[in-house]
Structure 1
Amino acid sequence: MTPIHWRKAGPDDAAALAYLGAATFLSTFAFDHPGGPLIEHLDAEHSADYYAAKLARADVDIVLGETPLGAPVGYALLMSPEHPQFQQDGDWELKRFYLLGPWQGGGNGRDLMAQAIQVARDRGAQRLLLAVYESNTRAIAFYERAGFVHIGETVFMVGDVAFQDRVYAKNLVG
């Protein structure tokens, strides 16, 4: 497996993030998400415009992973929390955490998580939140091994279809 170079994403990375986001979301969730709403979600939430808007915000950080040839293979998007029912002062959210299948395993997820946690700590976060689809058992196991604790449930919309997500938190201080 080729090594991954991690760096902070910038405005010129919006198209790469859009392709990577759509590819990882589709390959992970096509097994039980209806096609029409899935494509609608990809158009809205994984477009170059979506990522350009995120990259322009002061409260968003994206860590991008690339092969030595510059091909995007993973990323973590961190931002101000979007789960007010679980939010506490000092929280930051790991909104997206994606690696293409061939780069999963071998410590790449662990490396990306370390990058994400450092970004949150650099922002002064005391706790990191994330939401994960309840049927994504592999991701749930990974987050629990990384020290995240289940704190609640929320709904994630894909088009007009509701999916149940589990909300997790990891204390970053103490």
Structure 2
Amino acid sequence: MTPILWRRAEARDAAALSLLGGATFLASFAFDHPGDALIAHVRDAHGEAFYAEALADPAQTILIGETPLGAPVGYALLTPPKLPVETGPDDLELKRIYLLSGWQGGGNGAALLALVREEARRRGAKRLLLAVYQGNERAQRFYARHGFAETGETIFMVGDVPFRDLIYAAPVT
């Protein structure tokens, strides 16, 4: 498998993140999300403007993974928490974490999560929160293996269609 080179994303990465975010979201959820809602969500939530704004915000961090030739294959987005559970000043939300399917497995997800935890420690966080689609059992098992436990739930809108997400939390170790 081609290695992944990880780094902090920069303003110049907004276009690549938009393409990567849209591709990974479609690949992850096209199996049970209505097409029109899915397309509307990708246009809004994965547009280049979204990533440009996130990259310009010092409260947010995006890690991007690329092949040695510079092709983007994965990313993670850390933000201040905006989930409907009690949060504190030492919490961070892992808002997005995705790898293209050809780079899933082989320890790449665990390596990315380790980098996320390293960044969270650097930022002084004590706890990571995330929301995961209730129908994504593979992701739930992954998070459980890495110390996350369910702490609540929320509704996540994809276009105009609501989906139930589970909220997980884990200490930053």
Please say whether Structure 1 and Structure 2 have the same fold, judged by a TM-score greater than 0.5: yes
For residue 6 of structure 2, give the secondary structure of its aligned residue in structure 1. Answer: strand
CA RMSD of aligned residues (A): 0.8
Q: What is the identity, as a one-letter code, of the residue corresponding to 2:41?
A: H
Provide the C-alpha distance between the structure 2 equivalents of 1:172 and 1:138, rounded to a whole number of angstroms: 22
| 1:17 is aligned to 2:17 | yes
Runs of 4+ in 1 over 4 A off after TM superposition: none
Aligned to 1:148: 148
Provide the C-alpha distance between the structure 1 equivalents of 2:94 and 2:20, rounded to a whole number of angstroms: 17
Q: What is the identity, as a one-letter code, of the residue corresponding to 1:143?
A: Y
Q: What is the identity, as a one-letter code, of the residue corresponding to 2:12?
A: D
Q: What is the identity, as a one-letter code, of the residue corresponding to 1:101?
A: S
For residue 42 of structure 2, give the secondary structure of its aligned residue in structure 1. Answer: helix
Aligned to 1:96: 96
| 1:133 is aligned to 2:133 | yes
Runs (5+) with no aligned partner, structure 2: none
Aligned to 2:109: 109
Provide the C-alpha distance between the structure 2 equivalents of 1:25 and 1:108, rounded to a whole number of angstroms: 18
For residue 54 of structure 2, give the secondary structure of its aligned residue in structure 1. Answer: helix
The structural deviation recorded for 1:85 is: 2.6
The structural deviation recorded for 1:37 is: 0.8
For residue 69 of structure 1, give the secondary structure of its aligned residue in structure 2. Answer: coil
Identity of aligned residues (%): 58
For residue 14 of structure 1, give the secondary structure of its aligned residue in structure 2. Answer: helix
Q: What is the identity, as a one-letter code, of the residue corresponding to 2:162?
A: A
Aligned to 1:2: 2
| TM-score after normalising by structure 2 | 0.98
Provide the C-alpha distance between the structure 2 equivalents of 1:65 and 1:9, rounded to a whole number of angstroms: 9
For residue 87 of structure 1, give the secondary structure of its aligned residue in structure 2. Answer: coil
Aligned to 1:123: 123
Provide the C-alpha distance between the structure 2 equivalents of 1:152 and 1:86, rounded to a whole number of angstroms: 10
The structural deviation recorded for 1:84 is: 4.2
- Report the number of matched residues: 173
